[in-house]
C-alpha cells in the first residue's frame, strides 16, 4: 500500500505548487531599485518586496541564494547577489 501511494504521489507531484509565472520584466525593473534601497537600509520590508518579485516571475539560482542570505540577515551578501541579478 505504501509503495503504491508513493508511486501515485510521485506521478501526481503532491506537495509542490505548480507556479508557472511568466516574467513581468517591467514590474521586476520597478522593484529591483526598491529592494536595493531596502537592503541598504537593512529594512525588514525586504521580505514583502521579495514576495512581489516572486509574483512577478523572478526566479533562479542567484535569486534563491539571495533569499537564503536574507533569511540569515546577511543584507550585505544579499545586496551583492542582487547586483548580479540586476545585470
Q: CA–CA separation, 28 vs 8, rounded Å?
A: 37
Q: Which of 70, 50, 48, 46 is nearest to 59 (CA)?
A: 50
The model's confidence at residue 18, banded by pLDDT at 50, 70 and 90, is: very low
Does some domain include residue 58? yes
8 Å CB contact between 81 and 69: yes
Domain that holds residue 72: 21-86
Question: Is 10 within a domain?
Answer: no
* Residue 44 is assigned to a structural domain of this protein: yes
CB atoms under 10 Å from CB of 12, counted, come to: 9
* Number of domains making up the chain: 1
Give the span between the Cα atoms of 24 and 74, in whole angstroms.
27
Q: Establish if 15 belongs to a structural domain.
A: no
Is 46 domain-assigned? yes
Tell me the pTM. 0.68
pLDDT tens track for 19-70: 556 888 899 999 999 999 999 999 989 989 999 999 999 888 888 999 898 8
Residue 31, classed as helix, strand or coil, is helix
5 assigned to some structural domain: no
* 56 lies in some domain: yes
Amino acid at each position: 500500500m505504501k509503495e503504491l501511494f508513493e508511486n501515485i504521489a510521485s506521478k501526481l507531484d503532491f506537495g509542490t505548487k505548480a507556479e508557472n509565472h511568466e516574467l513581468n520584466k517591467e514590474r521586476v525593473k520597478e522593484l529591483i531599485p526598491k529592494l536595493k534601497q531596502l537592503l541598504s537600509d537593512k529594512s525588514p520590508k525586504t521580505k514583502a518586496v521579495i514576495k512581489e518579485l516572486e509574483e512577478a516571475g523572478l526566479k533562479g539560482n542567484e535569486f534563491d541564494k539571495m533569499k537564503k542570505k536574507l533569511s540569515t540577515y546577511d543584507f550585505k551578501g544579499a545586496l551583492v547577489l542582487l547586483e548580479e541579478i540586476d545585470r
